Amino acid sequence: MIRQDYNRIDPKRRSTIDYKKKQFAVPTYKQQDYPHRLSLYETPPTAEITLEQFEQWAIDRLRVLAEIEACSFRNKTPAETAAHVTPLLQKWLPLHSNTSSSVGSQDENLKLERQKDHYSHFILRLAFSSTEDLRRRFARIESALFKLRFQNDDAKEKQTFVESLQFDWEVVSEEEKRALGADLLNATPGLKRQDAEEAGWFKVDFETVAELVEGRRVFLKAGKAYVPVREQMSMVLAGFNARLDKGLELAARALPRLDEDDRLTPILVHLSKNFATPDSTLSDSDSALPGAPINPSSIDPLSQHFPLCMRNLQMTLRKNSHLKHFGRLQYTLFLKGIGLTLEDCLIFWRQAFKLITDDTFNKEYRYNIRHAYGDVGGDAIRRGRGYSPFSCQKILTEHPPGSGESHGCPYRHFSVDNLTTLLQTTGVSDRDVLRGVKEDVEKKRFHIACNRVFEWAHKGDIKRVKEDDSWGAAELDTIVHPNTYFKRSYLLKTGGAAAVKGDEMEI
């Protein structure tokens, strides 16, 4: 809205103004044409999209950001991170160059890819602007994503993009370059004399290239850093970070205005909660294990492939011949997810509860098991085939265990000493792994601790399948569901790369 100064209005027009109504200017918006593959996300999107696109585009970007953060937590090198994330980017957030042969002359496909990238960034910017911690994490991971894309961009398009930014970089004159020639050469590692004399140089405030200053890769004088053209990525990245930090602050101020919108607020809250551990649901194909011996007598030997939360429930059940309500529910749904039929599940629990009579079991436990499978209960339950197996996010955040209860996530709900003992009981003996798990737990990276144990237990199998030509890095993304843990473990040990194909989760 643009306010008009009353005294500057033509007197002839004053008589036409209705003072009971507010006077609004006609809004105009800058439409996005996306000439470049990369973007600094300076202009918020203005076109209309559906609520389904709003949520799905944000979820797809969140998948990628979560994997980038997981790579950081696992101390992967930039090369390892790029190799892991690139297939996921191609799957969830493709962004081709103008000259890419993958899209050819299909301008509409390019525009849709860039529109999705643009909108998903701003949607997550809203979702993660509510707290300082979320803003800091979002900025760090988005910066890593931008850096990865910038490094892999086509050289010609990259230069065109940089020229379009119109950064406030002061070009070092030839006279000043000659006067500082020796200093520039000595202060810039790996720079040849010919490059120092012939290449272009920029002069910027040293704070804008903190990464180069920290690495002692630039010459400093009078608060200015002298940066060779070859290091322009650091300057572009600094500009990206500065604009993103400012944008997140503006988003945080605008966030309260969305409270009245009952369509967007629940979606944004859901996205922010899933930033640490993306939520997941299982489809029938996700849980199917054709040919696997899933029956009551096979649960004990199969438990070697269970995640720690389910192994703990199985061990407690065998020890006490009983589990309390939420433990039974969590474990029943997990067993349902790996393919145990209702009839076999009833047999399994009846055999496990060997200290009670048939009459007691039928009266107190049978109905709840049938209800979890959707065999009894409301029509909605039956139509939906019962309840879905709990994801890591649900186990971490809902119904924390109390005294005498065994459900939940051991990485979150156990003390460090009890967790270490449980891990050692299940065969984890590597001190480096135990030390890494302890650090993950202290920093509340519970799903990373679980993945760390998985990777240690399957390091030989993972190496083997990665060397398989038919294997894709996207098949080993971060596990965020207990049933994915089981399926991937079982197939790695018994089926190899070909069998694991299609092992995907839907957030």
Instruction: Write out the binding residues.
Output: 309, 392, 409, 450
Burial classification of residue 439, based on how many CB atoms lie within 10 Å of its CB (0-12 exposed, 13-18 middle, 19 or more buried): middle
**Residue 13, SS3 per DSSP:** helix
Residues 334, 338, 339: CA angle, nearest 5 degrees: 120
Of 437, 390, 388, nearest to 410 by C-alpha is: 437
Contact 336, 284 (CB under 8 A): no
Within 13 Å, how many C-alpha atoms sit on residue 321's CB side?
8
Extract the tokens encoding 76: 């992967």
Give Cβ neighbours of residue 406 (< 8 Å, ≥ 6 apart): 312, 313, 316, 323, 324, 327
> Which residues share a beta bridge with 203?
170, 226
The Cα 299–Cα 321 span in angstroms is: 15
280 vs 289: CA distance, rounded Å: 19
Residue with tokens 């050819």, as numbered in its chain: 104
Nearest 5°: phi and psi at 472? -120, 145
Per the annotation, binding residues for [4Fe-4S] cluster are 309, 392, 409, 450
Residues 6+ apart with CB under 8 A from 313: 323, 327, 330, 331, 334, 406, 407
| Pairing status of strand 170-171 against strand 201-205 | antiparallel
